[in-house]
Amino acid sequence: MASIGPTTEVPLLSGARLTLARELNSGASYAKLLTFMPLFLQELEDKPAETQPCRLRKTKQMLNPPYGPAYSGACGMIFHSIPEDVLMSLIKGTVTYDIHNNSITPYNPDGPGVYALGLKIQERNGRFLNADEYKILLDNLQRYIKIARRMLNAIPLLQPELDFVDSVQSQIGEWDKQECRFINSGSNLANAELLLESLRKRYNALKAKDPSGQIYSTQSPLYVGCSKLISNRWVEYNRTDTKGAYYNANKLMTLTMSLLRHQNVLVELGKATIVRTWQADQMKDAELLVAALANAYSVQDGFNAVETGQTKHDGLMDDPYNVSEHRRYVYSQPYMERNLERSLAQIEQAKKAELTADIKEELATGKEKAKGKSQTLQQRVQFYTQSLEKRTSEVQEMTQDVKKRRMLHSAAANILEEVINLGDK
């Protein structure tokens, strides 16, 4: 089993993400992974409030144990539906590289759900930048921010500054407006400065691993979004040479791409479907969860400048046939069943270990009731084992028949209550 940690190709991996990646790599079940989610909350709360244009209130509420939505059966089911290799790729920030090399198995985009976008450079087999290229990007971004600040304050620009801005802003689609395309407000400016800070962290981490500055990273910043039909949304990102291309796309991501093309680095998007939703109330929680796992916000090291989970639609097509098809599609995949079975096995093992420890403690005290207590505990172990076996059998039976898979959510939501109890131990 390969060790997990920061490398030359994946330089920015620490804190909660590193812990979760190591646990996943060691074979931990999704039930156990859920118990580490408070680490993501702690990292957000440790950041000074004045540095956060986006307060991420819903994200913090979601991650707040024990009653946050992340620890509910509904959100737990969304988490269990993410394929293991896709989850690892999301945590490490290597989604674009992995999807390019067919080393992960994401859901297809032909339905509602949550997706992640990352950057790669043409003819590099899915890889992104080296340290030397990061340095040029940082210098150009710093220059663009300085000019944008002058434009916001109505300070006249010199011709070289105008030429630079025009070059950057015309790299993707056409832009003929006399204004700053990517930084046209104070909040845009604050987020661009956060992007500069996060890219500098990436540069420093990569340079420390590779002093030569020539090794390309497989890691890139990520943007997380959602759509009622992901494949249609992705069509918008393919319109790179027409007027208005990327007009409604994330500004930080588009600014980064424009700056890279200005420095003659041919950047393009990588796209992967992380979650396919199958119930009308899942989209908001799914997007919040995926963004948290990906460190996708500008205050972290991603492109999302606005908190996710703001969608007004319910995440499913209006046609009942399509709703049924989306549910059938998700339940027909092996990921949720496999992840639930591993969680069940761990819950069973943990409960047995807990009860066995109670038995040993009582026997060691020498109390008169020790024998009777131990027999009672042994009966509890047997009862719990039988209960789990029954639940496991029910889950397996339901997954044999596509029609019965519709019942999986309610059955598994009860199972997830055991996960919550484990996290309180």
Residue 425 contacts by C-beta under 8 Å, 6 or more apart in sequence? Answer: 350, 354
Q: Evaluate whether 280 touches 250 at the Cβ level (below 8 Å).
A: no
The pLDDT assigned to 125 comes to: 97
What size, in residues, is the chain? Answer: 425
- In whole angstroms, how far apart are CA 93 and each of 90, 230, 254, 283, 301? 5, 20, 18, 22, 10
Q: What is the DSSP string of 133-195?
A: HHHHHHHHHHHHHHHHHHHHTTPPPPHHHHHHHHHHHTSSS----SS-SS--SHHHHHHHHHH
Q: What is the pLDDT along the chain (425 residues), one digit of tens a residue?
A: 577 899 999 999 999 999 999 999 999 999 889 889 989 989 988 876 655 566 788 888 888 877 777 777 778 889 999 999 999 999 999 999 999 999 999 999 999 999 999 999 999 999 999 999 999 999 999 999 999 999 999 999 999 999 999 999 989 877 767 778 899 899 899 999 999 999 999 999 999 999 999 999 999 999 999 999 999 888 877 765 555 556 567 899 999 999 999 999 999 999 999 999 998 889 999 999 999 999 999 999 999 998 898 876 655 555 554 677 888 899 889 999 899 888 888 888 877 776 666 555 655 555 544 455 445 555 555 554 555 555 455 455 545 544 444 455 445 545 555 554 544 44
Per the listing, tokens 């919040």 go with 288
The pLDDT assigned to 373 comes to: 47
The pLDDT assigned to 72 comes to: 76
The pLDDT assigned to 301 comes to: 92
The pLDDT assigned to 316 comes to: 56
Phi, psi of 87 (to 5 degrees): -60, -45
- In whole angstroms, how far apart are CA 304 and each of 71, 127, 187, 191, 311? 24, 21, 13, 9, 14
- In whole angstroms, how far apart are CA 278 and each of 113, 187, 291, 328, 342? 8, 35, 19, 8, 22
Q: What Rg do the C-alpha atoms of the chain give, in angstroms? A: 24
Question: Two tokens at 295?
Answer: 């460190």
Q: Evaluate whether 90 touches 223 at the Cβ level (below 8 Å).
A: no
Q: Evaluate whether 29 touches 342 at the Cβ level (below 8 Å).
A: yes
Q: Evaluate whether 327 touches 403 at the Cβ level (below 8 Å).
A: no
Q: How far apart are CA 59 and CA 182, in angstroms?
A: 25
Which residue type does 295 have? N
Phi, psi of 69 (to 5 degrees): -55, -25
Strands, sheet with 223-227, edge to edge from the N-terminal-most edge strand = 223-227, 113-121, 267-276
112 backbone φψ class: left, alpha, beta (φ>0; ψ -120 to 50): beta
Nearest in space to 10 (alpha carbons), one of 149, 205, 188, 194: 205
Per the listing, tokens 């027999």 go with 375
* DSSP character at residue 213: S
Q: How far apart are CA 387 and CA 381, in angstroms?
A: 10
Ranges of each domain in the chain: 1-318, 334-423
Q: How far apart are CA 219 and CA 202, in angstroms?
A: 9
Residue 277: CA atoms inside 13 Å, Cβ hemisphere, count? 28
Nearest in space to 404 (alpha carbons), one of 316, 352, 346, 332: 332
The pLDDT assigned to 23 comes to: 95
Q: Evaluate whether 288 touches 308 at the Cβ level (below 8 Å).
A: yes
Per the listing, tokens 């996060």 go with 198
Question: Two tokens at 22?
Answer: 């190591």
